[in-house]
Amino acid sequence: MISIGLILPDVLGTYGDDGNALVLRQRARMRGLEAEIVRVKLGDPVPSTLDVYCLGGGEDTAQILAAEHLIADGGLTRAASAGRPIFAICAGLQVLGESFRASGRVVDGVGLIDATTASLSKRAIGEVVSTPVLPGLSAPLTGFENHMGATILGPDASPLGSVTRGVGNTDLAALGAVEGGSVSVSEQKLAEGAVQGSVIATYMHGPALARNPELADLLLARAMGVELASLAPLDLPVVDKLRAERLR
């Protein structure tokens, strides 16, 4: 049985990113594997032994509530320490960073990603496409970004992809104070998402895993403790059609 944790869907469920957990469950079941979604709501303890975790997007108040709960509970941090895959979208990316800006103040994040989030000069909204940087991925990554966060990666984090269309993590105005680190200013400008340890995060809505089946299967393989190449391929023409339409 593959256990898929859907973390705080009651506060981080604004943009339909709950669909990522559904995609993981369905792609597992289509391969004849048993899979279940474990919904963990605000105030519930976060189990540290699930096979994979999904976090979605939300507004400022929701982000603050999520960060406070996840820091106090500690379950997700223990899961990350154990190497269990975690997939975070938009506000989820910001919440898992070192700090983020919400409701006019800087809020402490969970600290699973070496990243800080301030504010963009202009909202990033529209299609975003990137070339994957994460080893194991080869297909272009596609999604819909809608955020005001300017996320700067620290030396311990790497981008998920390099932007070929759209804004990505940040804009030029927010990069003025960036110095040093393993991610250069030019790389920060093209960066989309973040990868650190077992955590993969992105600003891509869509939901992201419906639009990027290779990424979904990478997470599924990690949840199972196997190589991506060992998963039986799925012939889904409708997904291929969706990707072709979105990449246009």
Q: Which residues are catalytic?
A: 90, 205
Token pair in block for residue 113: 């990603």
d(CA 42, CA 57): 14
The number of residues making up the chain comes to 248
Token pair in block for residue 106: 């800087």
d(CA 59, CA 91): 7
Asked whether the beta carbons of 205 and 127 are under 8 A apart, the reply is no
Asked whether the beta carbons of 116 and 100 are under 8 A apart, the reply is yes
Nearest-10 crossing angle of helices 213-224, 19-29: 70
123 is in an annotated binding site: yes
C-alpha pair distances (Å), 53 with each of 87, 153, 228, 237: 6, 22, 18, 27
Q: Known binding site: residues?
A: 123
Q: Known binding site for substrate: residues?
A: 123
